[in-house]
């Protein structure tokens, strides 16, 4: 749910990066954080284990102030991907305005992609969020690895709603910005409706 303050002329939106464990959600928002101008970003928060696995969530606030009159603030969150953190994932989806589903393109991780998508649908249902109505982008990450599934297979199995999708190598920043721009565009578009 976006929050609009007409006094300070601010719009706040929440974007969640969802996907199976080790698919590159944190890598996505870390890349964005590292490449954004200092004046446009706040502090990045990472709640991770000692081995850098996300434990609860990562958070990056981004401010866009060159919009006519209004300042838009995107709050980017990642979810913990591992199966055991189901309860935490649900908490992070609360009040979500847009979702980026980061899939792992490797063949052996495809079952994890499908399980996580089911888990996401279940959680959205519990918040009464209709996926047809929700800004959503798919990202097929790790395209540089040797054992990846063809994009057509990933698209057929995951992107059942024919939403915009992107191939990515998040560690090199390939596809990261395109994904972020598309989800931001959709979130703002929905705001205008």
Restricted to residues 168-187, the positions that interact with another protein (CB under 8 A) are: 177, 180-181, 184-185
46 sits near another protein (criterion: CB under 8 A): no
Give the list of residues 6+ apart from residue 162 with CB closer than 8 angstroms, or none. Answer: none
CB of 147 to another protein, least distance (A): 32
Query: Quick one: 53 or 155, whose CB is closer to another protein?
Result: 53
Restricted to residues 2-41, the positions that interact with another protein (CB under 8 A) are: 2-8, 11-12, 14, 35-37, 40
Q: Comparing C-alpha atoms, which of 100, 91, 161, 158 is closest to residue 126?
A: 91
Query: Quick one: 162 or 192, whose CB is closer to another protein?
Result: 192
Cross-strand bridge partners of residue 74: 13, 62
Query: Quick one: 12 or 105, whose CB is closer to another protein?
Result: 12
Site map 80..119 versus another protein, x via CB under 8 A:
-------xx--xx-xxx-----------------------
Please check whether residue 120 is in contact with residue 161, taking contact to mean a CB–CB distance below 8 angstroms. Answer: no
According to DSSP, residue 150 is labeled P
Give the list of residues 6+ apart from residue 188 with CB closer than 8 angstroms, or none. Answer: 13, 72
CB of 192 to another protein, least distance (A): 5
Give the list of residues 6+ apart from residue 36 with CB closer than 8 angstroms, or none. Answer: 62
CB of 30 to another protein, least distance (A): 14
Task: Give the strand pairing for 10-18 and 3-5.
Answer: antiparallel
C-alpha–C-alpha distance, residues 23 and 74, integer Å = 22
Please give the residue ranges that form the binding site for another protein (CB under 8 A): 1-8, 11-12, 14, 35-37, 40, 42-43, 45, 47, 56-57, 59, 61-62, 64, 66-70, 72-73, 75, 77, 87-88, 91-92, 94-96, 177, 180-181, 184-185, 188, 191-193
């Amino acid at each position: 749910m976006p929050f609009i303050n007409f006094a300070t002329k601010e719009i706040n939106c929440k974007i969640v990066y969802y996907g199976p464990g080790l698919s590159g959600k944190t890598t996505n928002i870390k890349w964005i954080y590292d490449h954004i101008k200092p004046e446009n970003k706040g502090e990045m928060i990472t709640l991770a284990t000692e081995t850098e696995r996300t434990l609860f969530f990562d958070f990056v606030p981004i401010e866009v102030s060159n919009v006519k009159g209004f300042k838009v603030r995107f709050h980017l969150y990642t979810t913990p991907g591992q199966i055991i953190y189901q309860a935490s994932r649900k908490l992070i989806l609360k009040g979500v305005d847009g979702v980026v589903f980061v899939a792992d393109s490797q063949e052996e991780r495809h079952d994890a992609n499908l399980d996580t998508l089911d888990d996401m649908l279940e959680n959205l249902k519990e918040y009464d969020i209709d996926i047809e109505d929700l800004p959503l982008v798919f990202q097929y990450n790790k395209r540089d690895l040797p054992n990846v599934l063809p994009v057509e297979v990933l698209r057929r199995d995951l992107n059942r709603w024919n939403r915009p999708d992107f191939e990515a190598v998040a560690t090199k920043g390939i596809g990261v910005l395109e994904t972020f721009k598309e989800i931001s565009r959709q979130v703002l578009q929905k705001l205008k409706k």
